[in-house]
Amino acid sequence: MNWVRDVGAWLARAWRSSGHERNTVLVIVKSALAATAAWWVAYDLIGATSPAFAPFSAVLIMNATVYQSLWQALRYTAAVTAGVAVQAVLGFLIGPELFVFPLVAVIALAIGQWPALGEQRAQVGTAAFFAFSTYTMASATGDQAVQLGQIVLLVLIGCGIGLIVNLCVAPPLRYRGAEQGIQVLSQEVEALLDDMADGLRDGDVSSERTEGWIAAGKRAQRSVDQARAGLTTAEDSLPFNPRRLLPAHRGYLTFDRYRQVLVSMERAVYQLSSLNRSLHRWQETENTYSYAPVLHTYADFLVSLRDVAHVLSSIDSDTLTEQAQEACRLSGTAQEKLQDVLGSAQEADLPLADSTRPYGVLIVEATRLMEEFQYTCDALLTTADA
């Protein structure tokens, strides 16, 4: 019964801490509540012929943020209204004949290509088809008009109830999502830097090792994309959210620092990927790496950057000032290690200008990496108390 344990563990995580599991439970509960209220209004109060439109609409627009729910409600309502309007115009002008259906389909599907409707574009055709069915089942012209108007009314009821529930029942503030994205990305970078340092110190830059570094760089790039999505969600959770007015949340409602960190970390990931591709390409011809002291100092430099990434991997708004100061102190150490690398390269008369060997790239990328990490630390320190 492994699935029982898995479900139990999943529910335990949802109960103990905020995160994906708890957010999923909240969306399910709020969707069920909104759907039930919408059904009650549509079926018991209005006595609608097709009451399912209301709960369906309430669930469809339920989103992780109030801002996105509002946008989905507007787009969905516009799509449904357009689909019903197509059927209403053609139905009252021509009638409910079979040959009218392909006209309805073509026009509705063409309107559904409008980019402004976003992911709700398909609902234009769906609404038009339901409207056609409703129109043909009505016996009188007055009933036909009432039934078509009722579809739009039910959609408005469902969207309105969904928005009210999402606004009033634990409206999500996802500012922690911005932190979590940076944390995961920094953990990927930390692990990559640590492994690269070990490899250079041991002189192990074999094809298998460098391929592993390239794969780790790709994972870090995926983490960049996930961090950017988390940052966007965090920013979208603010508009129209009443919880942002509470004193407990006012210190967490700016994300410029995380955007700056993400931009610089993305560039750092790019520099690491470029370096590892160069090492992988050149290891076929450079199989001795005879300048061992230089590689040892380079490994020490990567370790110092790893320490900075370690601080970023636990970034927290509640302790940001202390973390920013620690990151800047470690960045100063990394600057010293970079000078050791440059000095060691000069003493060893490293062939930096030889494009067939990796040393020039090693030095250039070291300087660029230091710039990105220093920028990250400066941005955190500048905005820590903002």
Given this model, what pLDDT does residue 287 score?
Answer: 54
80 residue type, one letter: V
DSSP for 263-276, written as a single string: HHHHHHHHHHHHHH
- Band of pLDDT at residue 171, cut at 50, 70 and 90: confident
d(CA 130, CA 152): 11
| 8 Å CB contact between 46 and 215 | no
Given this model, what pLDDT does residue 175 score?
Answer: 64
214 residue type, one letter: I
Nearest to 172 by CA among 27, 284, 298: 27
Where is average pLDDT lowest: 219-228, 261-270, 346-355? 346-355
- Band of pLDDT at residue 74, cut at 50, 70 and 90: very high
d(CA 343, CA 380): 30
246: left (phi over 0), alpha (psi -120 to 50) or beta: beta
Over residues 306-339, the pLDDT tens digits come to 999 999 988 887 787 888 889 999 999 999 999 9
Per the prediction, the chain carries an average pLDDT of: 83
With a cut of 90, say whether residue 343 has pLDDT above it.
no
Given this model, what pLDDT does residue 14 score?
Answer: 60
Task: Specify which of 65-74, 150-159, 252-261 reaches the highest per-range mean pLDDT.
Answer: 150-159
What does the DSSP 8-state code read for residue 123? H
Q: At a CB cut-off of 8 Å and minimum separation 6, what does 372 contact?
A: 264, 265, 267, 268, 271
With a cut of 60, say whether residue 288 has pLDDT above it.
no
User: Could you tell me which residue, 176 or 230, shows the higher pLDDT?
Assistant: 230
Buried b (16+ CB within 10 A) or exposed e, 142-180: eebeebbebbbbbbbbbbbbbbebbeeeebbbbbbbbbb
Given this model, what pLDDT does residue 158 score?
Answer: 94
Tell me the C-alpha to C-alpha distance, in Å, between residue 383 and each of 160, 258, 260, 321: 39, 10, 10, 9
Instruction: List helix spans (H) across the chain.
Output: 2-16, 20-39, 53-60, 66-93, 100-111, 122-137, 141-168, 175-202, 207-236, 256-282, 292-312, 320-347, 359-383
Give the residue-averaged pLDDT of 70-74.
90
- Band of pLDDT at residue 56, cut at 50, 70 and 90: very high
Task: Specify which of 3-12, 13-22, 155-164, 259-268 reaches the highest per-range mean pLDDT.
Answer: 155-164
With a cut of 90, say whether residue 124 has pLDDT above it.
yes
Task: Specify which of 32-36, 48-52, 382-386 reaches the highest per-range mean pLDDT.
Answer: 32-36
d(CA 219, CA 198): 19
Nearest to 301 by CA among 190, 197, 378: 197
Over residues 345-378, the pLDDT tens digits come to 888 777 777 766 777 778 888 899 999 899 888 8
With a cut of 60, say whether residue 137 has pLDDT above it.
yes
Tokens standing for residue 287: 């199989």
Tokens standing for residue 278: 């160069």
Give the residue-averaged pLDDT of 197-217.
86
d(CA 175, CA 136): 50
Given this model, what pLDDT does residue 277 score?
Answer: 85
User: Could you tell me which residue, 138 or 92, shows the higher pLDDT?
Assistant: 92
Give the global pTM.
0.65
d(CA 79, CA 73): 10
With a cut of 60, say whether residue 156 has pLDDT above it.
yes
